[in-house]
A = this chain, B = another copy of it.
Amino acid sequence: MAPTEKAPPKPRKEPRQARAKVTVDAIFEATLQLLLTDGPRRLTTTRVAHRAGVSVGTMYQYFPNKEALIFALNARYLDALAERIETVCRNMAGSRAEAMVAALIDCYWQAKTERADVTRALYRSVAELDNSSLIEAFAERVDTATQAMLASAPDLAGREATPLALTLVTVIFGTVRNAFERGLSPAEVAHLKGELCSMCQVYLRAR
């Protein structure tokens, strides 16, 4: 009964020569620009190719279809985001649990906010295709990094890091995303961020 759709699309072939790499980068850049200026509905292969300065045929050498292009663009973005989070988690090793949570919230919030237009454009672009594998891979990395971080907290002895990480990551990432989707005012956003932070910290102290 599940929607019958193809497996997650992957890049057709890797660019081997330097000019090919330039081409692929140009295609990615053109896609993002069009997404930002015109929205996902007006994103056509012809326009992407034209903006990238290549022909449609060239685009299809590297991406089997339009979905694969959008998929790859999102994969790129999520990979960079996961890397940032992993770095923060590594840097916070050994700190107090409260500081860890604050840093995690800060990092994610910052990443979403600093290029809000990009975040929104990518959210919307990817949604019509099955991106669950991307989301799962991303969540897996973030969970793992958070677990490792929490396990190193001196004031968290005796609490299992695995379920704790799952809860915190889901609550934090879900809240940020939702805050992002709603049209909150800057004042409301600032207040919410503080409340989310203290909520997680109170939760850590309890029990």
A139 in complex: contacting residue of B1, B163, B173, B182, CB < 8 Å: B182
Contact yes or no, B170 A179, CB < 8 A? yes
The answer for the CA separation of A199 and B175 in the assembled complex, in Å, is 13
In the complex the two chains form, is A170's CB within 8 Å of B199's CB? Answer: no
What DSSP secondary structure best describes chain A's contact surface? Answer: helix
Please name the residue on chain B nearest to A205 by beta carbon.
B202
Among A92-100, A116-124, A144-152, the stretch in contact with B: A116-124
Cα-based distance from A132 to B174 in the complex (angstroms): 17
B191 and A163 contact, CB distance less than 8 A: yes
Closest B residue, CB atoms, query A126:
B127
Interfacial chain B residues near A184, Cβ < 8 Å = 166, 170
Question: Copy number in this complex?
Answer: 2
Taking the closest CB of chain B, its distance from the CB of A199, in whole angstroms, is: 5
Q: Which of A19-27, A35-43, A73-81, A83-91 contacts B (4 or more CB under 8 A)?
A: A35-43
User: How many residues of A are in contact with the other chain, CB < 8 A?
Assistant: 53
Residue of B nearest to A5 (CB): B39
Q: Does A4 contact B (CB under 8 A)?
A: yes
Residues of B contacting A114 in the complex (Cβ-Cβ under 8 angstroms): none
Which residues on the B side are within 8 Å of A38 (C-beta)? 3-4
Complex interface: chain B residues within 8 A of A110 (CB):
none
Task: Output the least CB separation between A133 and chain B (Å).
Answer: 9
